[in-house]
């Protein structure tokens, strides 16, 4: 007789036809990766032959074939009825005695190893499952907390029957699998007591952008079903693979989810979903060492299989150990062409109604349809936007009809997110409060084209889309680089043709993510405004040292951008707020004086060494030191803005060394903005202090012509092509080249004006940095300019 039971220790990935992808992968990992220190819970597989024996002895084959022949394969209007009749007959079937005996025997061997009667997880594993191009995520049933021989055998039968879940029938039809040939194996695996700890999902690439150098880990308290079902917004951690390889601190981003539910085992069997204690909701489920361990394991699993992987992990609340409980190929980005990109952008502003995690990049519009269960599927019309609390695999057959999917719960590894990626639909998950502000029939626009946060706007807004094909695209010799502010866009933008980031604006991170004046964190106890103190307490509630809040937030944002473009250089400009902008931060008004002309006032280098801001600058430097030294992202370079005199430059360089950032150490380069006429007039002196220049064309034009760049009245005079401005630019380029220093320019003019691009390249500039929406046009202008100069 063919094997009906095979222990994991005898299974390999080549056994997919016998035990399905899930079980074959577990056996492969148990044999090949467990010896490397990756913990895999032991278990065994009930084979596809056992399933076929069950079908044969219960004379089910003809019955199933007949029922499937009745299926409406156009609208699937009777899918639920066909599924129900097949499953009902299968659940009444008798497990063959020989199979029951072998399941009992294998279970007893597991219990004998452990010295006690065990709880096990019982998971379905279809023979076409987990192959590239088809995740089968959640199509078949899994059961947790199963104990005892009789209960185990009954659960195996329930898994067999789940092969004919309505969602699974529809999924196989969509994927083109022969509905009569597929069989089902069942995996029986030691339970990890994650109900007493935590669990979650790892992707060995960023699942949204396809960025391959990062591992995304999500986690929640209790059992991971809450993540898969989208019942909670989980914690998210990003681990940078090159930092792991160098033995450096590799956690580049940590975002706490609300984790409002904790799924635990019930004493009566099955599971309960309990409210999470509010204090526990705010705590991360993993510490940095555990995050990095999962990151290393994910890389090892990816390397073993030679492809990006979707991995489930669990932590045992009794032993404290981490385990990998499942691994399957990632099925979306593995099939995408990395050189093809469709870029969307809104051309209209609108009223923001709600937001959440963006799944898929694009923009669409449609009417909202609120549904509360898959039973209401017939109410959804083609092109409507589905809004619901959470989805599960029963929703799959109707999700393709929606123009977009909105869920009020869930994270980037929830069921709704995974299926939306697979079917190519836009989705926003974790849009808390959406059901309070939206109703059926509302016309809205979904914008998933502006970073990790998807936004829902009122009405139908206008947008544009452009198809890009980067294959074989020629890059100019002069480096095209990005001007970048928002870290959430970094992974996506890294796929564009580029030579790194010529200007990362620190101010965006401080104003959008941190929101608090750094001196208000340093001197929190001295704050006079009680309302602002309360706001700061709320934002920093998980930090005993409020200064650590600033360093954490800033270092993670900078690390995300620096990692996205690694090993290309990323030039971070230290903070360049004006005093009025600093005053608008929480707690800022107490530390800023009113200036008549903030543009020419207390800004840039002058702030850094002044007693009124020196301690704030120390926080900026500590964040940068952490990124470069602790995380190993030495491609990060620094830039000092609005440095009026060489003496100021020396003061700042010296101060930065005191704060742990020594010029030249570990390749640290420090540049200066060339944006004041004195930077040009004394360029040779600045060149002896700094490693390079970046021309800030807006301020340089303003200060050369004496024109307020924001003046509507004098707008026509403000022109980078003015002879005086161009002399300034050509002169600083000349000095930089003579001194062997790098020099670039950040600004819009080279993309708007081909002649200005030609002028810069003719002067010998090293790089030109563009905003994302101007990069491709800028590259085109640069290539034409280089050809024209050459000819």
Catalytic residues, which ones?
415, 746
C-beta of residue 496 within 8 angstroms of C-beta of residue 361: no
Tokens 């708007």 sit on residue:
752
Q: Distance (Å, rounded) from C-alpha 122 to C-alpha 140?
A: 11
E strand or H helix that includes residue 763: helix 754-763
C-beta of residue 27 within 8 angstroms of C-beta of residue 12: yes
DSSP secondary structure code for residue 776 in this structure: H
SS3 labels along 509-552 = HHHHHHCECHHHHHCHHHCCCHHHHHHHHHHCCCCCCHHHHHHH
Residues in the chain: 791
C-beta of residue 760 within 8 angstroms of C-beta of residue 750: yes
Structure token pair of residue 315: 């932590």
Reduce the DSSP state of residue 374 to 3 states and report it. Answer: helix
E strand or H helix that includes residue 263: strand 261-265
Tokens 């097949």 sit on residue:
86
Structure token pair of residue 470: 């980067």
Tell me the chain's radius of gyration from C-alpha atoms: 30
C-beta of residue 626 within 8 angstroms of C-beta of residue 554: no
Burial class (CB in 10 A: 0-12, 13-18, 19+), 748: middle
Q: What sign for the dihedral angle of Cα 321, 325, 329, 333? A: negative
C-beta of residue 454 within 8 angstroms of C-beta of residue 355: yes
Rounded to whole angstroms, what are the CA distances from 545 to 522, 525, 549, 615, 617?
9, 12, 7, 14, 17
Structure token pair of residue 595: 């200036």
C-beta of residue 490 within 8 angstroms of C-beta of residue 504: no
C-beta of residue 582 within 8 angstroms of C-beta of residue 606: no
Phi (first) and psi of residue 331, to 5 degrees? -110, 5
Q: Distance (Å, rounded) from C-alpha 74 to C-alpha 245?
A: 51
């Amino acid at each position: 007789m063919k094997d009906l039971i095979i222990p994991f220790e005898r299974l390999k990935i080549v056994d997919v036809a016998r035990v399905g992808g899930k079980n074959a992968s577990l056996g492969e990992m148990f044999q090949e990766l467990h010896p490397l220190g990756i913990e895999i819970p032991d278990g065994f597989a009930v084979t596809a032959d056992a399933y076929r024996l069950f079908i044969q002895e219960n004379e089910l084959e003809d019955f199933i074939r007949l029922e499937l022949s009745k299926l409406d394969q156009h609208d699937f209007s009777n899918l639920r009825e066909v599924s129900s009749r097949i499953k009902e007959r299968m659940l009444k079937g008798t497990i063959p005695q020989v199979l029951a005996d072998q399941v009992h025997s294998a279970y007893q061997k597991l219990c004998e190893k452990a010295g006690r009667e065990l709880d096990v997880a019982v998971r379905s594993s279809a023979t076409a499952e987990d192959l590239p191009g088809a995740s089968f995520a959640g199509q078949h049933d899994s059961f947790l907390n199963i104990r005892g021989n009789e209960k185990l055998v009954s659960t195996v039968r329930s898994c067999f029957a789940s092969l004919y879940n309505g969602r699974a029938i529809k999924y196989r039809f969509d994927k083109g699998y022969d509905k009569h040939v597929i069989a089902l194996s069942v995996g029986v695996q030691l339970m990890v007591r994650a109900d007493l700890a935590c669990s979650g999902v790892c992707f060995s690439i960023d699942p949204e952008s396809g960025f391959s150098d990062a591992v995304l880990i999500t986690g929640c308290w209790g059992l991971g079903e809450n993540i898969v079902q989208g019942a909670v917004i989980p914690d998210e951690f990003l681990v940078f693979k090159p930092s792991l390889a160098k033995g450096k601190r590799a956690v580049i981003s940590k975002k706490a989810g609300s984790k409002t539910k904790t799924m635990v085992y019930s004493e009566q069997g099955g599971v309960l979903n309990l409210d999470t204690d509010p204090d526990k909701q705010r705590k991360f489920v993993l510490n940095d060492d555990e995050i990095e361990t999962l990151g290393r394991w994910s890389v090892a699993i990816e390397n073993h299989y030679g492809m990006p992987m979707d991995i489930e992990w669990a932590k045992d609340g009794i032993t404290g150990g981490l385990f990998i409980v499942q691994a399957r190929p990632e099925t979306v980005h593995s099939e995408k062409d990395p050189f093809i990109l469709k870029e969307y952008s809104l051309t209209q502003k609108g009223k923001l109604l709600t937001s959440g995690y963006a799944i898929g990049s694009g923009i669409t519009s449609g009417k909202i349809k609120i549904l509360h269960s898959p039973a209401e599927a017939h109410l959804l019309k083609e092109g409507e936007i589905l809004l619901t609390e959470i989805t599960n695999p029963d929703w799959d057959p109707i999700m393709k009809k929606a123009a977009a999917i909105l869920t009020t719960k869930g994270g980037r590894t929830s069921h709704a997110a995974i299926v939306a990626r697979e079917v190519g639909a836009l989705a926003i998950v974790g849009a808390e409060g959406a059901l309070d502000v939206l109703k059926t029939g509302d016309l809205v626009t979904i914008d998933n084209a502006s970073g990790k946060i998807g936004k829902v706007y009122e009405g139908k807004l206008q947008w544009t889309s452009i198809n890009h094909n980067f294959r074989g695209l020629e890059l100019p010799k002069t480096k095209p680089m990005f001007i970048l502010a928002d870290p959430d866009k970094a992974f996506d933008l890294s796929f564009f043709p580029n030579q790194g980031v010529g200007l990362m604006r620190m101010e965006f991170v401080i104003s959008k993510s941190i929101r608090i004046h750094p001196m208000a964190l340093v001197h929190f106890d001295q704050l006079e405004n009680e309302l602002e103190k309360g706001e700061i307490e709320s934002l920093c509630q998980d930090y005993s040292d409020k200064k650590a809040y600033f360093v954490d937030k800033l270092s993670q944002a900078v690390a995300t951008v620096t990692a996205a473009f690694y090993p290309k250089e990323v030039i971070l400009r230290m903070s360049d707020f004006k005093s009025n902008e600093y005053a608008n931060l929480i707690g800022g008004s107490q530390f800023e004086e009113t200036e008549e002309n903030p543009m020419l006032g207390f800004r840039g280098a002058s702030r850094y060494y002044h007693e009124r801001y020196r301690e704030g600058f120390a926080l900026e430097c500590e964040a940068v030191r952490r990124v470069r030294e602790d995380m190993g992202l030495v491609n990060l370079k620094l830039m000092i803005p609005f440095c009026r005199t060489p003496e100021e430059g020396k003061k700042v360089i010296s101060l930065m060394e005191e704060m742990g950032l020594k010029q030249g150490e570990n390749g640290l380069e420090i540049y200066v903005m060339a944006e004041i006429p004195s930077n040009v007039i004394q360029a040779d002196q600045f060149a002896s202090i700094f490693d390079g220049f970046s021309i800030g064309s807006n301020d340089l034009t303003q200060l050369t012509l004496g024109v307020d760049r924001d003046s509507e009245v004098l707008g026509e005079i403000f022109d980078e092509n003015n002879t005086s401005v161009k002399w300034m630019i050509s002169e600083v380029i000349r000095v930089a080249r003579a001194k062997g220093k790098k020099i670039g320019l950040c600004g819009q003019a080279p993309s708007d004006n081909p002649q200005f691009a030609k002028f810069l390249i003719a002067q010998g500039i090293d790089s030109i940095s563009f905003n994302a929406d101007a990069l491709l046009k800028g590259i085109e202008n640069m290539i034409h300019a280089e050809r024209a100069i050459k000819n």
